[in-house]
Chains A and B, each alone.
Chain A
Amino acid sequence: MWKRLLVLGFTFALSSTLAAQKIGVINTMTGGEAPIGENITNGIKLAEEDLKKRGFPLTLVWEDDTGKAQISMSAMEKLASRDQVIGVVGPYTSACANAVAKRAEQYKVPLLVPAAAKEEITRQGLKYVFRMNAPADKYASSLIDAALALGKPRSIAFIYENSDFGTSTTATAKTYVASKGIQVVADEPYPKMNADYRSTLAKIKSKNPDLVFMVSYVADAILIMRQAKEVGLQPQAFLGGGAGFTTVEFARETASSSVFSCTQWTDDVSWPGAKDFGKRYRAKFGKEPTYHAACAYESMMIMAGVARDAGGNRDKLREGLKNGKWSGIMGDVKFADFDGFTNQNAHQMLVQQLQGGAYETVFPKQFATKPSVYPFPKWK
């Protein structure tokens, strides 16, 4: 009898310390950005499933920030003080992640940002903020490097959403093209949910650029390509800077064919478990996995793994993240300090092109699955 009681008491004591290891998730689950946020939710759910299978005691506390920075910040405050989480994975958008990063530092809660692109997030010396994905400057430079490897572009036009993500990606792209001697002939930020780009695209067409660089979320990405076809914009290449240009919805469009985009992840890359993740994701959610899902999955796996060993101590968790090294569906992960970044994973970006409705990796060469189509074929 006393043995049983002892076991019971022991389990009780153990489970209470483990239950204290709650991990917070801040994500955009409703609002305009929710379609992409959903991928992050799914990625984390898959991670949760895998962790539970491996016997990790995991309690996730979910917070929806609706894509607004102020709600995201209060979610962080709530997680840090009321829910007493050990660490937080999220938020999704750059604006939210950047606002939350400062709060995380203030509360000394390790924050692992899975898929926000703005450079500043990990470029302000915050010790508690880590980032899985490559920041915005890599989006631009990997695409422009690919274009330079394929042809001799001399001019470039920018059309981008005037959000944190859009402007920061474009700003770094501008610095990068300046260093490569490519001339900027048009610079067109647009407000979100705009739905009519005809005039802007007609203006860009009149400048006759060799490259058109776009930064948009999914719906706008689709419309921009449809309307570019309508207007007859004919550059050597369309470069889609992340987010909307790497989605299944975008790939379905006929007007999207031959658009280059860059991504943090695809399931045909040779990183361990990537293929299997894609297969399981499709089976579970009936959708193609996006890089957001993969980033979120790997972020949660790492966060939970380190949190288990940290024993509820936030500083131990921070040290664990800082000193650890992982290899998984996102390739090799290490949070390092370089080029002014702190706790930034030096992630390898992949450049892909839509060919026959499918994303084919075309750059860098060692990951290429198909040769690229260049210059952009004439509109029919």
Chain B
Amino acid sequence: MSIFLYSLISGILTGGVYALIGIGLTLIFGVMRIINFAHGDLMMLGMYGTYLLSTFLGVDPFVSVLLVFPAMFLFGGLLQKALINRMLTSVAQNQILLTIGLGLILSNTVMLIFTSDYKTVTTSYASSTLKLSENVSVSAPLLVAFSITAAITAGLYWFLQKTDTGQAIRATAQDRDAARLMGINVSRMSILAFGLGSALAGTAGALLMPTTYTFPQIGSVFTLKAFVITVLGGMGSVVGATLGGILIGIAESLSAVYISSGWKDVAVFVLFLLVLLFKPSGLLGKSRT
């Protein structure tokens, strides 16, 4: 029983951080109908940012979020303005090529600078735990990461629902042309969306650093994960991505205990296929024509 509880909790906590990556991807997809294949690489940049700040300036990885978030927002906005905006009207495969190419450039540039070595940040609390009961304890850094994720997600949700800019972003996502006719600066919304998406990916990277490692090619693993989360939750849905992330986290964690860790990807993809089979638009997605 305690193993079940333990793996359920650690699944939810890891899933929360996965969700943050998924939310970024879903936001970008929602507004621009572009699947950002460089998303994992943006997360990787966030990881390296945190690594640099922590190793050379002694900034705590969790505090580094305060710097990584705005930096990645600006970087994402710049990418959108300089590159992606030009491709919005071109055919889908060209957009895919652009984002895949972007990802390759990012990961290989990082490899050129940092070599392909694995980088970890060392904190005093890397392996510290919080005891919930006699047999169940949770990883303290993972819990902190989850809390920050929850706060950011709540903030983002509020931003999208309540503020004028948030509503404009949602309007752009709903119907780009109608939004433009209503006087919304659509290309500015796209820059905002890509900036936010990148910032969320970078933040997720920063939050993962205390409990994991990074290397230039780590992005592809998370791009795939983010993609599954996004599709599972319903493309374009922020709440869906949150749910999707946590579901994937739990599925990975429980299948590692009750089937085998070698089979956890299978468990995730079976779950993925089942959802697609019974609800093709994803858990919270609205089907579009």
Residues of A within 8 A of B (CB): 30-32, 34-35, 37-38, 159, 162, 188-191, 193-200, 202-203, 206, 218-219, 222-223, 226-227, 229-230, 232, 249, 252-255
Chain A residues with Cβ below 8 Å from B97 are none
In the complex, whether B10 has a CB less than 8 A from a CB of chain A is yes
Give A28's nearest chain B residue, CB to CB: B116
In the complex the two chains form, what is the Cα distance from A219 to B215 in whole Å?
Answer: 9
In the complex the two chains form, what is the Cα distance from A162 to B263 in whole Å?
Answer: 10
Chain B residues with Cβ below 8 Å from A223 are 211-213
Chain A residues with Cβ below 8 Å from B126 are 226, 255
In the complex, whether B99 has a CB less than 8 A from a CB of chain A is no
Chain A residues with Cβ below 8 Å from B218 are 193
Type the 1/0 row for B261-272, where 1 means its CB is closer than 8 Å to any CB of A: 110110000000
Are B253's CB and A189's CB within 8 A? no
Give A37's nearest chain B residue, CB to CB: B116
In the complex the two chains form, what is the Cα distance from A232 to B139 in whole Å?
Answer: 11
B contact face: mostly helix, strand, loop, or mixed: helix
CB distance from B140 to the nearest CB of A (A): 9
Are A199's CB and B129's CB within 8 A? no
CB distance from B20 to the nearest CB of A (A): 15
Are A38's CB and B116's CB within 8 A? yes
In the complex the two chains form, what is the Cα distance from A229 to B139 in whole Å?
Answer: 10
In the complex the two chains form, what is the Cα distance from A203 to B3 in whole Å?
Answer: 7
Are A219's CB and B213's CB within 8 A? yes
Chain A residues with Cβ below 8 Å from B111 are 30, 34
Chain A residues with Cβ below 8 Å from B212 are 195, 223
Are A35's CB and B116's CB within 8 A? yes
Which of B115, B118, B127, B257 meets A230, CB within 8 Å? B127
In the complex the two chains form, what is the Cα distance from A188 to B259 in whole Å?
Answer: 10
CB distance from A231 to the nearest CB of B (A): 8
In the complex the two chains form, what is the Cα distance from A251 to B273 in whole Å?
Answer: 42
Type the 1/0 row for B111-146, where 1 means its CB is closer than 8 Å to any CB of A: 100011110101000111100000001010000000
In the complex the two chains form, what is the Cα distance from A202 to B117 in whole Å?
Answer: 29
In the complex, whether B150 has a CB less than 8 A from a CB of chain A is no
Chain A residues with Cβ below 8 Å from B254 are 199
Are A249's CB and B120's CB within 8 A? yes
Are B117's CB and A196's CB within 8 A? no
Chain A residues with Cβ below 8 Å from B128 are 230
CB distance from A359 to the nearest CB of B (A): 18
Which of A162, A197, A202 meets B6, CB within 8 Å? A202
Q: Which 7 A-B pairs have the closest CB atoms?
A: A34-B116, A190-B261, A199-B7, A189-B262, A229-B127, A199-B256, A219-B118
CB distance from A369 to the nearest CB of B (A): 26
Give B256's nearest chain A residue, CB to CB: A199
> Beyond A202-B7, A222-B213, A255-B127, is A194–B118 a contact (Cβ under 8 Å)?
no
Chain B residues with Cβ below 8 Å from A249 are 117-118, 120
Type the 1/0 row for B188-204, where 1 means its CB is closer than 8 Å to any CB of A: 00000000000000000
CB distance from B269 to the nearest CB of A (A): 12
Are B118's CB and A198's CB within 8 A? no
Beyond the given A190-B261, A199-B11, A253-B122, please list 12 additional residue pairs across the A-B interface where CB-CB is below 8 A.
A32-B217, A34-B116, A189-B262, A191-B262, A196-B10, A196-B253, A219-B118, A223-B211, A230-B128, A230-B137, A252-B122, A253-B120
Are B11's CB and A162's CB within 8 A? no
> Beyond A202-B7, A226-B127, is A189–B215 a contact (Cβ under 8 Å)?
no
Give B261's nearest chain A residue, CB to CB: A190
CB distance from A35 to the nearest CB of B (A): 5
A and B contact pairs by CB, cutoff 8 A, 5 listed: A190-B262, A190-B264, A196-B14, A197-B261, A230-B127
Are B261's CB and A230's CB within 8 A? no
Are A193's CB and B6's CB within 8 A? no
Are B10's CB and A199's CB within 8 A? yes
Chain A residues with Cβ below 8 Å from B215 are 32, 35, 219
Which B2-23 residues have C-beta < 8 A from chain A? 3, 6-7, 10-11, 14
In the complex the two chains form, what is the Cα distance from A252 to B119 in whole Å?
Answer: 11
Are A202's CB and B3's CB within 8 A? yes
Chain A residues with Cβ below 8 Å from B182 are none
Chain B residues with Cβ below 8 Å from A189 are 260-262
In the complex the two chains form, what is the Cα distance from A229 to B213 in whole Å?
Answer: 16
Chain A residues with Cβ below 8 Å from B118 are 35, 218-219, 222, 249
CB distance from B186 to the nearest CB of A (A): 38
